[in-house]
Structure 1
Amino acid sequence: MKRHRRRRTLAPYLFLAPSLLCVSLFVLLPFLDAVRRSFYSAMSGQFVGLQNYRTVLHNAAFRLAVGNTLRFTLLCIPVLVALALLLALLLQAAKDERGVYKTTFLAPLAIPVASIVLLWKVAFHQNGMLNSLLSHFGVQPVDWLQTDWAFLVLVLSYLWKNTGYDMVLWLSGLQNISPALYEAAQVDGANARQRFFKITLPCLLPELFTISVLSLLNSFKVFREAYLIGGDYPHDSIYLLQHLFSNWFTSLDVDKMCAAATLVALAVLLLIFAMQAAWGRKENR
């Protein structure tokens, strides 16, 4: 019996061992090495303490990239989560054609990034479709990707590509809510608004945390679109942290890059832990 219990205890760890080994070798150990390098000079190898961090925090490009990344994240994630939830609720009601709509909204995930960028360039270039349409109303052509409007183009690109993915996650949560709860609420006279705020949202709190974290992590992947649209040095409105890291890597500013990466990783971890603590308090109420 003891041997059987021991096998049952060890079985999950044996299945997880290959993944944990790969994550440790290719993610955790390189990150720890980057943290170590952030305290040393890349040229001399001497220990410099917090000097690299002070250099990064006083760097104008770093502050610009952090500001744009925060603005992008704070705007996109709430809009994405709310829009995906709205579509999931509508799709939940359309039971007969749910598969067709689900496939339609997931289609952007299957389109290569290069094709998406080409589509945005055709639409928003100075000689593109949008300017061609606006010229009929007497509007002068604008190179949208080289103005502050480039930020809005990037936001639309992120929402268009990720809404379907979040919508499917919301749908899985909605399908786990027992219909008996809604039937009992209707019998008690609760209207649609009351059922949504008293039943649907409380039951979706675990999915809300997961979707918010995944949306946060996916927001860092938008660099591909921004890079293909504007290159290494795009318009200031879409100059993100990923551009900064790419440029520092090209110029071999390893010490600054490691310090900045450590700061960003620490900020993301603290944000995720804060979200987890907030969700835990909500679930315990």
Structure 2
Amino acid sequence: MPTLRAITNKESFWGYVFITPIMIGFFLFMLYPLLASLSLSLTKSDGITPATFIGIKNYQMLITDERFINSLLVTLVYVVGTVPMGVALALLVALLLNQKIRFIHLYRTAYFIPYITSMVAVATVWKWLYNTDYGLINGFLSQLGLFEPPWLSKQGWAMLSIIIMSIWKGLGFNLVIFLAGLQNISPSMYEAAKIDGANAFQRFFYITIPLLRHTTLFVMVMAIIGSFQVFDQVFVMTNGGPANSTSVIVYYVYQNAFLFFKQGYASAMAYVLFAIIFVATWIQLKISNRKDVI
């Protein structure tokens, strides 16, 4: 009969065997590129000739780079425009889809399909919809005799167009997370509140919102991280225009790395973006801890 120690050692051995491919992938495709990018950010490199070590000069240059400051502000506008509205709309739709109605599974699937669709494909379709000459949206507004916005051709309108599309695209993911949280709330709590005379708004604010605090925190953190990393829709729909009004940080990183061949400078920007996302997430967690959320 094998001893307990032998069984434990055997289980540990096979456990390490199974996690080895994951750890190899982590070191090769995550940790090594992360450290290599940090090293590259301290150099002047074009990706072709040997890199020259320049210390923190790339980071110093960011302070006076007007395009970088603009891209940071544009990204913040995008984050503010997408996260609160996207989270609130997802919660509202989740409440509607948490009802016992016919074809409810069909409705849930319909809302989730845009999320699993390629962002490039979605952005391309929306670019056609926004077209000022033959786009479906302006064509419909024209039939009604309403104002036809210059969706992607004017400053202000271009960012609004991307925000609207991004909220629609990401709605399915946030909705599913909220729906899972709602279904974990015991119906007996709502029944008890009804007996005590609580109306629908009171049940929402005093039962639903508090019991969804963990879910809301997760959705907010993921939404903010994703919003700071926005790139695909900007690249496909506007190329950062007009007049850099939609040039977000990741798009500016892409331009410096692959168009201007300033890969050391682009790496420095990427690390600044990482720091911004880290601080934003840390602040959310600290606020949540203060409110006894997690």
Which TM-score band applies after superposition, normalised by the shorter structure?
0.7 to 0.9
Offset at residue 155 of structure 1 (A): 0.6
Offset at residue 167 of structure 1 (A): 0.5
Match of 1:203 among 190, 197, 211: 211
Distance 2:114 2:293 in 1: 37
Match of 2:266 among 249, 257, 266: 257
1:106 aligns with 2:112: yes
Could you tell me which runs of 5 or more consecutive residues in structure 2 were left unpaired when the two chains were aligned.
none
Identity percentage of aligned residues: 28
Offset at residue 23 of structure 1 (A): 2.2
Partner of 1:188: 196
Distance 1:14 1:269, change over 3 A: farther
Match of 2:152 among 129, 133, 145: 145
Which structure's residues are more often helix, by fraction?
1
1:140-197 CA-partner distances (Å, limit 9, x unpaired): 8664212121111101110111111111110101111112222222222222222222
Offset at residue 28 of structure 1 (A): 1.9
One-letter amino acid of the counterpart of residue 105, structure 1 = Y
Judge conservation of contact 2:58–2:268 (CA < 8 Å) in 1.
yes
Judge conservation of contact 1:226–1:234 (CA < 8 Å) in 2.
no
Distance 1:96 1:10 in 2: 51
Partner of 2:225: 217
Distance 1:242 1:211 in 2: 22
Partner of 1:32: 35
Offset at residue 17 of structure 1 (A): 4.3
Could you tell me which runs of 5 or more consecutive residues in structure 1 were left unpaired when the two chains were aligned.
none
SS at match of 1:190: coil
Offset at residue 5 of structure 1 (A): 5.9
- 160-169 or 135-144, which moves further after superposition? 135-144
Distance 2:119 2:19 in 1: 32
Judge conservation of contact 1:108–1:161 (CA < 8 Å) in 2.
yes
Offset at residue 32 of structure 1 (A): 1.5
Judge conservation of contact 1:182–1:195 (CA < 8 Å) in 2.
yes
Distance 1:10 1:216, change over 3 A: farther
Distance 2:186 2:15 in 1: 30
Match of 1:126 among 132, 143, 147: 132
Match of 2:282 among 248, 273, 284: 273
- 13-22 or 46-55, which moves further after superposition? 13-22
Normalising by structure 1, what TM-score? 0.87
Partner of 1:63: 69
Distance 1:208 1:11, change over 3 A: farther
Q: Matches of residues 235-246 of structure 1 in structure 2 within 5 Å?
A: 235-246=243-254
1:217-251 CA-partner distances (Å, limit 9, x unpaired): 33255421211112365542211112201110122
Judge conservation of contact 1:65–1:240 (CA < 8 Å) in 2.
yes
Distance 2:101 2:139 in 1: 40
